[in-house]
């Protein structure tokens, strides 16, 4: 499974808060991608972006074939993207490295293949220590990286 998966919120609650945003660019997005907010619209996140939103859940106007594959062909300022927007969300991601709780990581990869990488920008913070390479890495946005952080 590629991309990021919502696990839970440090703020509690059983379901993540969702929001709907217009796509900033004409681009392909995939369920599990991390988004960034720019000028009120979202696009695929990259390391050192200034206003991360959360993970793509889907689009409000998906065709059945696209929805089945989890792929969204977004059109600039037209396609509505549904995303998790909880700044306290904890996500898991495939990562072949052991990680210590509190370590920082960066986002890396293209749509459908996003993961974490060695840190230079500290996009994410590891939530729990990961000892085995086969385990998923649990991360949250580093304080000040999410668009709702104050």
Asked if residue 99 lies in contact with residue 129, where contact means CB atoms within 8 angstroms, the answer is: yes
Query: How many structural domains comprise the chain?
Result: 1
Q: Is 75 domain-assigned?
A: yes
Q: Is 99 domain-assigned?
A: no
Q: Is 100 domain-assigned?
A: no
Q: What is the model's pLDDT at position 64?
A: 46
Asked if residue 35 lies in contact with residue 89, where contact means CB atoms within 8 angstroms, the answer is: no
Q: Is 66 domain-assigned?
A: yes
Q: What is the model's pLDDT at position 60?
A: 79
Asked if residue 115 lies in contact with residue 108, where contact means CB atoms within 8 angstroms, the answer is: yes
Sheet with 41-44, strands from edge to edge, namely 18-22, 80-84, 52-59, 34-38, 41-44
Number of H helices, E strands in the chain: 1, 13
CA-wise closest residue to 112 among 70, 140, 143: 70
Q: Is 123 domain-assigned?
A: no
Q: Is 101 domain-assigned?
A: no
For residue 61, the enclosing domain spans 13-86
Q: Is 76 domain-assigned?
A: yes
Write out the chain's pLDDT in tens, 150 residues.
479 999 999 999 888 999 999 999 999 999 999 999 999 999 999 999 999 999 999 887 655 445 555 888 888 999 999 999 999 999 999 999 999 999 999 999 999 999 999 999 999 999 999 988 889 999 999 999 999 985
């Amino acid at each position: 499974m590629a991309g990021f998966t919502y696990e839970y919120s440090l703020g509690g609650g059983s379901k993540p808060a969702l929001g709907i945003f217009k796509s900033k660019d004409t681009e392909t997005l995939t369920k599990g991608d991390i988004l960034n907010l720019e000028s009120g619209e979202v696009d695929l996140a990259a390391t050192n972006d200034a206003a991360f939103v959360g993970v793509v859940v889907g689009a409000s106007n998906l065709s059945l074939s696209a929805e089945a594959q989890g792929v969204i062909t977004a059109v600039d300022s037209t396609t509505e993207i549904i995303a998790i927007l909880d700044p306290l969300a904890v996500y898991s991601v495939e990562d072949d490295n052991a990680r210590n709780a509190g370590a920082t990581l960066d986002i890396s990869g293209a749509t459908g293949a996003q993961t974490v990488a060695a840190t230079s920008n500290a996009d994410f913070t590891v939530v729990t220590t990961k000892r085995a390479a086969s385990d998923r890495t649990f991360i949250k946005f580093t304080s000040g990286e999410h668009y709702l952080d104050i």
